[in-house]
Amino acid sequence: MPLYVLEYQFPEDSSRRLAARSRHRAYLAELKRQEKVIAAGPFSDGSGALIIYETADADELERLLARDPYGSAEVYGERIIREWGPFIGGRVPEA
């Protein structure tokens, strides 16, 4: 299955993010148990975060993002999604 990287910036007003954070983290933990999230975490400068997903396709990723509490709380500022093809690491597809 393809890997996707989501990079997003936090809005300057952190109130919505902080209000939704525990639900967002619980949601990501559940996706990790389902092996849909590979890794997730904020940038060390606090400007945003990065999440690596493994989904069947981009449509499934969009469905997962639509259910994320950060999505409904409109926490995502600028958002970049890219399909990612690592060649070194634990999730490298077989050639």
Q: Where are the domains of the chain?
A: 3-84
Q: Are 7 and 57 in contact (CB under 8 A)?
A: no
pTM of the model: 0.87
pLDDT digits (tens, 9 = 90+) for 51-60: 999 999 999 9
Identify the CATH homologous superfamily for domain 3-84: Dimeric alpha+beta barrel (3.30.70.1060)
Q: Are 11 and 67 in contact (CB under 8 A)?
A: no
Percent of the chain scoring above 70 in pLDDT: 94
pLDDT digits (tens, 9 = 90+) for 59-91: 999 999 999 998 887 777 788 999 998 887 766
In this structure, what DSSP letter does residue 35 have? T
Q: How many CA atoms lie less than 13 Å away from 67 in the CB half-sphere?
A: 10
Could you tell me the pLDDT band of residue 34, with boundaries at 50, 70 and 90?
Answer: very high
| Sign of the alpha-carbon dihedral angle for 60, 30, 48, 69 | positive
Q: Is 81 helix (H, G, I), strand (E, B) or coil?
A: strand
